[in-house]
């Protein structure tokens, strides 16, 4: 998270931008068409049924395959694991990260390899004094992906664990995660449950719940049909030979952890999720930092949608291409669509609410009062489907709490309300920004 | 894994069915509310008409009729723009709203009936204490001016208890309403007709209408 990426620009070339523009225009076309053609009730029903279907699919997946943590036999011989920690100006967190890595319990051998990516805050000099780790250095800041690639050349382990310098795996992380590789030899990566470390601000507490839902419930559900589309940066395990065979991480990608997962999927490898252990990670505490983080995620998302567009709706890739990709990576477009439609509708209603006051303040007030007094039942009938959608979402939420071994408490209510009603708009807006930035090829800098 | 999507589709269908059940319940609740209000209005108009017939056929003096009309009709005619607003709000909120055309027409006819009854009372009872205002609004397009006009009329009614407002859409196909529209050559909304004579076109604010009312009473 803390790496510098000044030199990274959008790598999209003109034909890809054309595709992106066409994609955007199709989405915009659908919004305008449905806004002008269908009544808003009908549009809401269509959206509602579609989203209920998607939720139900996840519900069925959960019940058919993800409810139980799968039993995985431990291997006879535990492999050598190399932990790679890329570090750029992270003196605030990297030492804690190294310490938690040193405390890992593992039956086999493991070593820690820290790659300093041209730090300028003196953390390299401080790292030199730390014993029990291997230390490599990029003289110039090249970005996380190339730092990890560099470390791969020196890694001794059969399995490598990439751990962000602001993340702290639990003691049993290696033991629990590594065994998954030996279920079958197509498994190229294992991801673990990423949770928020020590949330303090409201924003962090919102993200805490968000992580439980997405890295907890959804990752486990998606993994049950081999559909993971990202191996989260905080901690992911890889088979080294597969990584090398695929050419390592993409150094030009904004979200190299998503890119590598999509590349693995494309080449028929499998990614497993292990929820028996967790890794705690620092998350942005300010809105500005969160905005930057998500902008990077969504720009990377848009970039990778285009890079792997042939996987979308492609029956060759089964559930992953037909369902998972469109409803996860592609859902940004879906969300943007629904958000734009809602805003159009609200602005139209807003005009109807405000315009009367322009003619006469007193008259407008009286009209507003009388419309409110008859408004007890103004609840639109189609919203009932929205209520059902919400109910399924709450079911997912309870399952997320179960997976996280958390008992819901009153202090979760406020962040939940924000997560439900405010956060989606924030995310939707950032997605649109991410789309626009990629389309116009803006330079990316922190 | 076709069975996954099949299961999901079945589940979706079940949820949608349940959803539509609740939707129909909510729709029916609203329709019933409107229905009972309209029924009450219809009954009112009807009983007045019978009263009038009674007086024409059997009655000897107009006193009986006049006292009834000035008490009851005047009071009950207070329902105005509110109910029509409510009908159009509810119509928009409902999904299954076939009944609304019928209800709306019933409402327009009864409302016009109430207006005509009040006019008749005035004719046979040597004047009436009420000032009658026809208020034409628009239903086929959004009309924020009409909403404001409705609000202004609400305020006026509070200030002038003897004011009776009858609201009609000018763009409806109901014959009786169309006759009223034609009679006053209404071509746009909002428009007001005071006591069947004076026509105010376009949005009229509180002061304008008040001045007209005062000019009439003096």
Chain A contact for B81 (CB, 8 A cutoff): yes
Nearest residue of A to residue B203, measured between CA atoms: A359
Residues B46 and B97 in one domain: yes
Contact A356 B148 (CB under 8 A): yes
Task: Measure the CA–CA gap between A61 and A275, rounded to whole angstroms.
Answer: 16
Q: At what angle do helices B144-159 and A331-359 cross, to 10 degrees?
A: 40
How confident is the model at residue B50, as a pLDDT?
87
Residues B28 and B98 in one domain: yes
Chain A contact for B9 (CB, 8 A cutoff): yes
- Assign 3-class secondary structure to chain A: CCCCCCCCCCCCCHHHHHHHHHHHHHHHHHHHHHHHHCCHHHHHHHHHHHHHHHHHHHHHHHHHHHCCCCCCCCCCCCCCEEEEEEECCCCCCHHHHHHHHHCCCCCCCEEEEEEEECCCCCHHHHHHCCCCCEEEEECCCCCHHHHHHHHHHHCCCCEEEEECCCEEECCCHHHHHHHHHHCCCCEEEEEEEEEECCCCCHHHHHHHHHHHHHHHHHHHHHHCCCCCCCCCCCEEEEEHHHHHHCCCCCCCCCCHHHHHHHHHHHCCCEEEEEEEEEEEECCCCCHHHHHHHHHHHHHHHHHHHHHCHHHCCCHHHHHHHHHHHHHHCCHHHHHHHHHHHHHHHHHHHHHHHHHHHHHCHHHHHHHHHHHHHCCCCCCCCCHHHHHHHHHHHHHHHHHHHHHCCCCCCHHHHHHHHHHHHCHHHHHHHHHHHHHHHHHHCCCCCC
Q: How far is A353 from chain B (nearest CA, A)?
A: 8
Contact B7 A359 (CB under 8 A): no
Within 8 A of A319 by CB-CB distance, chain B residues are: 1, 4
Q: How far is A272 from chain B (nearest CA, A)?
A: 19
Q: How far is B153 from chain A (nearest CA, A)?
A: 8
Per-residue pLDDT for B113 more than 70? yes
Residues B124 and B135 in one domain: no
Q: Identify from A366, A374, A375, A378 which residue to disrupt to test chain B contact, counting B C-beta atoms within 10 A and taking the largest count.
A: A366
Span B30-68, pLDDT tens digits:
888 888 888 988 888 888 888 888 888 887 777 777 777
Q: Identify from A370, A380, A383 which residue to disrupt to test chain B contact, counting B C-beta atoms within 10 A and taking the largest count.
A: A370
How confident is the model at residue B83, as a pLDDT?
77
Nearest residue of B to residue A385, measured between CA atoms: B19
How confident is the model at residue A119, as a pLDDT?
86
How confident is the model at residue A269, as a pLDDT?
93
Task: Measure the CA–CA gap between A63 and A392, rounded to whole angstroms.
Answer: 13
CB pairs under 8 A between A and B: 135
Residues B138 and B215 in one domain: yes
Angle at A259 between CA A258 and CA A265, to 5 degrees: 90
Residues B115 and B168 in one domain: no
ipTM: 0.79
Report yes or no on A207 lying in a domain.
Answer: yes
Report yes or no on A362 lying in a domain.
Answer: no
Q: How far is B10 from chain A (nearest CA, A)?
A: 9
Residues B82 and B24 in one domain: yes
Q: How many structural domains comprise chain B?
A: 2
How confident is the model at residue A1, as a pLDDT?
40
Q: Which of B19, B142, B152 sits opposite A388 (nearest CB)?
A: B19
Nearest residue of A to residue B33, measured between CA atoms: A377
Residues B152 and B93 in one domain: no
Q: What average pLDDT values come out for chain A (446 residues) when binned by 10 residues?
A: 46 73 83 78 86 93 84 87 91 89 90 90 86 86 89 91 92 90 90 92 93 93 91 92 91 89 93 92 92 90 88 89 87 78 79 81 79 63 87 93 89 91 85 85 58
Chain A residues within 8 Å of chain B (Cβ atoms): 41, 45, 48-49, 52-53, 56-57, 59-61, 64, 225, 318-319, 323, 351-352, 355-360, 362-371, 374-375, 377-382, 384-385, 388
Residues B28 and B106 in one domain: yes
Chain A contact for B90 (CB, 8 A cutoff): yes
How confident is the model at residue A74, as a pLDDT?
85
For A301-330, b/e burial (b = at least 16 CB within 10 A) is bbbbbbbbbebeeeeebebbbbbbbbbbbb
Residues B150 and B214 in one domain: yes
Chain A contact for B151 (CB, 8 A cutoff): yes
Per-residue pLDDT for B27 more than 50? yes
Pick the last residue of a domain from B129, B147, B170. Answer: B129
Model-level pTM? 0.83
Q: Identify from B19, B35, B156 which residue to disrupt to test chain A contact, counting A C-beta atoms within 10 A and taking the largest count.
A: B19
Within 8 A of A347 by CB-CB distance, chain B residues are: none
Q: A396 is written with which tokens?
A: 């997912």
Q: How far is CA B129 from the centre of its chain?
A: 21
Within 8 A of B138 by CB-CB distance, chain A residues are: none
Contact B70, B121 (CB under 8 A): yes
- Residue ranges making up the domain that contains B205: 131-218
Q: How far is A330 from chain B (nearest CA, A)?
A: 18
Within 8 A of B22 by CB-CB distance, chain A residues are: 384
Pick the last residue of a domain from B73, B97, B129. Answer: B129
Q: Which of A62-71, A264-273, B76-85, B153-162 has the highest mean pLDDT?
A: A264-273
Pick the last residue of a domain from B74, B100, B129. Answer: B129
How confident is the model at residue A376, as a pLDDT?
46
Token look-up 């639109």 returns A380
Nearest residue of B to residue A45, measured between CA atoms: B16
Average pLDDT value for chain B: 83
How confident is the model at residue A189, as a pLDDT?
94
How confident is the model at residue A377, as a pLDDT?
47
How confident is the model at residue A4, as a pLDDT?
43
Residues B113 and B137 in one domain: no
Task: Measure the CA–CA gap between A212 and A275, rounded to whole angstroms.
Answer: 11
CATH code: domain of residue B137: 3.40.30.10
Chain A contact for B89 (CB, 8 A cutoff): yes
Task: Measure the CA–CA gap between B132 and B119, rounded to whole angstroms.
Answer: 8
Distant-in-sequence, close-in-space partners of A22: CB < 8 Å, separation ≥ 6: none
Per-residue pLDDT for B96 more than 80? no
Residues B16 and B124 in one domain: yes
**Region B146-173: what's the mean pLDDT?**
86
Q: How many structural domains comprise chain A?
A: 1
Nearest residue of A to residue B141, measured between CA atoms: A352
CATH code: domain of residue A441: 3.90.550.10
Nearest residue of B to residue A44, measured between CA atoms: B95
Chain A contact for B117 (CB, 8 A cutoff): no
* DSSP SS3 for B58: coil
Angle at A245 between CA A241 and CA A251, to 5 degrees: 105
**Region B172-192: what's the mean pLDDT?**
89
Q: Where is B76: in which H helix or E strand?
A: helix B74-76
Q: Which of B96, B142, B151 sits opposite A366 (nearest CB)?
A: B151
CA dihedral sign of residues A413, A419, A420, A421: positive
Nearest residue of B to residue A383, measured between CA atoms: B23
Q: A280 is written with which tokens?
A: 């705690």
Contact A359 B142 (CB under 8 A): no
Residues B112 and B146 in one domain: no
How confident is the model at residue A388, as a pLDDT?
92
- Residue ranges making up the domain that contains A183: 1-347+385-446
Q: Which of B4, B95, B205 sits opposite A60 (nearest CB)?
A: B4
Task: Measure the CA–CA gap between A266 and A258, rounded to whole angstroms.
Answer: 12
């Amino acid at each position: 998270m803390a790496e510098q990426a000044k030199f990274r620009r959008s790598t999209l070339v003109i034909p890809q931008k054309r595709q992106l523009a066409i994609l955007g225009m199709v989405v915009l076309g659908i919004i305008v068409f449905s806004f002008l053609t269908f009544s808003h009730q009908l549009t809401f029903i269509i959206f509602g049924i579609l989203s209920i279907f998607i939720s139900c699919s996840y519900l069925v997946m959960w019940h058919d395959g993800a409810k139980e943590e799968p039993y995985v036999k431990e291997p006879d011989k535990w492999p050598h694991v190399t932990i790679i920690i890329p570090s750029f100006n992270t003196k605030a967190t990297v030492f804690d990260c190294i310490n938690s890595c040193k405390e890992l319990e593992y039956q086999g051998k493991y070593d820690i390899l820290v790659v300093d990516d041209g730090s300028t805050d003196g953390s390299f000099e401080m790292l030199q004094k730390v014993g029990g780790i291997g230390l490599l250095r990029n003289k110039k800041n090249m970005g996380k992906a190339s730092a990890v690639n560099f470390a791969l050349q020196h890694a001794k382990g059969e399995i490598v664990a990439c751990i962000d310098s602001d993340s702290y795996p639990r003691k049993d992380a290696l033991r629990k995660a590594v065994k998954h590789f030996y279920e079958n030899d197509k498994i190229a990566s294992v991801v673990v449950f990423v949770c928020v470390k020590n949330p303090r601000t409201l924003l962090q507490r919102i993200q805490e719940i968000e992580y439980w839902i997405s890295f907890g419930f959804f990752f486990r559900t998606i993994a049950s049909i081999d559909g993971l589309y990202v191996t989260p940066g905080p901690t992911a395990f890889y088979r080294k030979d597969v990584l090398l065979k695929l050419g390592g991480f993409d150094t030009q990608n904004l979200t190299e952890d998503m890119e590598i997962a999509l590349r693995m999927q494309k080449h028929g490898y499998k990614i497993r999720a292990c929820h028996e252990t967790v890794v705690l990670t620092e998350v942005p505490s300010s809105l500005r930092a969160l905005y930057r983080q998500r902008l990077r995620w969504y720009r990377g998302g848009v970039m990778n949608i285009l890079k792997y567009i042939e996987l979308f709706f492609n029956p060759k890739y089964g559930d992953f291409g037909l369902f998972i990709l469109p409803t996860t990576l592609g859902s940004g477009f879906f969300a943007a669509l629904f958000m734009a439609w809602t805003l159009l509708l609200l602005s139209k209603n807003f005009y109807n609410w405000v315009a009367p006051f322009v003619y006469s303040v007193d008259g407008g007030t009286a009209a507003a009062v009388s419309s409110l007094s008859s408004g007890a039942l103004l609840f639109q009938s189609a919203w009932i489907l929205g209520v059902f959608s919400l109910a399924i979402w709450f079911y997912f939420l309870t399952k997320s709490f179960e997976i996280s071994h958390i008992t819901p408490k009153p202090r979760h209510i406020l962040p939940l309300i924000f997560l439900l009603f405010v956060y989606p708009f924030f995310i939707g807006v950032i997605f649109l920004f991410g789309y626009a930035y990629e389309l116009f090829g803006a330079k990316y800098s922190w | 894994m076709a069975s996954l999507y099949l299961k999901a589709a079945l589940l979706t269908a079940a949820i949608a069915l349940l959803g539509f059940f609740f939707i129909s319940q909510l729709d029916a609740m609203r329709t019933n509310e409107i229905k009972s209000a309209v029924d009450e209005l219809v009954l009112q108009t009807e009983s007045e008409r019978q009263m009038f017939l009674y007086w024409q056929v059997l009655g000897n003096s107009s006193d009986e009729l006049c006292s009834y009309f000035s008490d009851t009709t005047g009071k009950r005619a207070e329902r105005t723009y509110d109910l029509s607003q409510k009908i159009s709000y509810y119509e928009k909120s409902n999904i299954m709203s076939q009944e609304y055309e019928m209800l709306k027409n019933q409402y327009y006819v009864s409302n016009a009936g109430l207006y005509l009854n009040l006019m008749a009372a005035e004719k046979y009872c040597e004047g009436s204490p009420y000032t009658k205002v026809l208020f034409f609004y628009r239903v086929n397009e959004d009309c924020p001016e009409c909403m404001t006009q409705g609000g202004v009329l609400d305020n006026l009614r509070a200030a002038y208890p003897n004011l009776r407002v009858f609201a009609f859409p000018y763009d409806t196909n109901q014959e009786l309403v169309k006759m009223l529209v034609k009679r006053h050559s209404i071509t746009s909304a909002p428009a007001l007709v005071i006591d069947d004579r004076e026509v105010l076109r376009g949005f009229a604010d509180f002061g304008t209408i008040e001045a007209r009312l005062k000019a009439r009473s003096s």
